[in-house]
């Protein structure tokens, strides 16, 4: 699958079969994440690999829209490191770029995934940081549930010419 097809065919997957994701695939996904662009090339991110069933279940309780974590064998928490990037807006933008790389790499490996928003909601950030013992200078930005897909959502039409503008003509 080429890059364009990978981007176009990726869908959020919220149903997973009962099968673990092997360490080699997880490593590849993390490598893809770390090759994301970042403002001033700060690479101000850290990644928490969560494959402990008890922690995944607890996260599904903390996060109001993350029921799929009850079945997902794996989640990755993308954290922004405030020591490396002081500007929180850039921190979240950089981590978002890394998150998208994770989704696309997972899809290229035949895995399914879904982005679960954490930042900037304090009511999610605080309990997640506490549960996973994050150092105070690392803020959780996004959580990604990953596993082997048990659904195939339809392909939506998303290309709308009306969203494109040329030069100074809106
Ligand atoms: C910042 C952000 C936060 C999201 N949070 C959630 C979430 O909490 N739970 C969820 O099931 N999906 C979440 N999603 C996934 C979106 O619902 C999904 O990307 C959107 O419906 C488009 O579908 P697609 O990913 O299949 O293209 C989030 C996506 C983004 C970008």
Q: Residue 128: is its pLDDT beyond 90?
A: yes
Distance CA 63, CA 65 (A): 6
Token output for 145: 């549930």
Pocket test for ligand 1, best of 96, 116, 142, 152 (most atoms within 8 A of CB): 116
Distance in Å, CA 1 to ligand 1 centroid: 23
DSSP bridge partners of 120: none
Q: For 63-81, what is each residue's pLDDT tens digit?
A: 999 999 999 999 999 999 9
- The Cα–Cα gap between 120 and 34 comes to 22
Backbone angles phi, psi at 8, to 5 degrees: -70, -35
pTM: 0.98
Q: Whose CA is nearest to atom 11 of ligand 1?
A: 65
Residue nearest atom 31 of ligand 1, based on CA coordinates: 115
pLDDT digits (tens, 9 = 90+) for 82-102: 999 999 999 999 999 999 999
Residues having CB closer than 6 A to ligand 1 are 11-12, 14, 65, 114-117, 153
Q: What is the dihedral of CA 10, 17, 32, 94, to 10 degrees?
A: 70
Is residue 77 within 8 A of residue 128, CB to CB? The reply is yes
């Amino acid at each position: 699958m080429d890059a364009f097809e990978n981007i176009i065919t990726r869908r959020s997957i919220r149903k997973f079969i009962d099968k673990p994701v092997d360490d080699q695939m997880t490593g590849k996904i993390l490598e893809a994440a770390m090759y994301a662009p970042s403002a001033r090339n700060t690479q101000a991110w850290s990644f928490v690999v969560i494959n402990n069933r008890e922690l995944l279940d607890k996260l599904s309780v903390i996060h109001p829209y993350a029921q799929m974590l009850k079945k997902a064998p794996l989640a990755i928490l993308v954290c922004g490191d405030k020591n490396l990037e002081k500007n929180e807006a850039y921190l979240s933008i950089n981590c978002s770029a890394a998150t998208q790389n994770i989704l696309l790499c997972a899809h290229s490996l035949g895995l399914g995934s879904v982005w679960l928003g954490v930042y900037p909601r304090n009511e999610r950030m605080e309990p997640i940081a506490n549960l996973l013992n994050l150092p105070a200078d690392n803020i959780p930005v996004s959580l990604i549930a990953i596993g082997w897909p048990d659904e195939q959502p339809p392909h939506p039409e998303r290309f709308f010419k009306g969203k494109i503008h040329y030069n100074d003509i809106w």
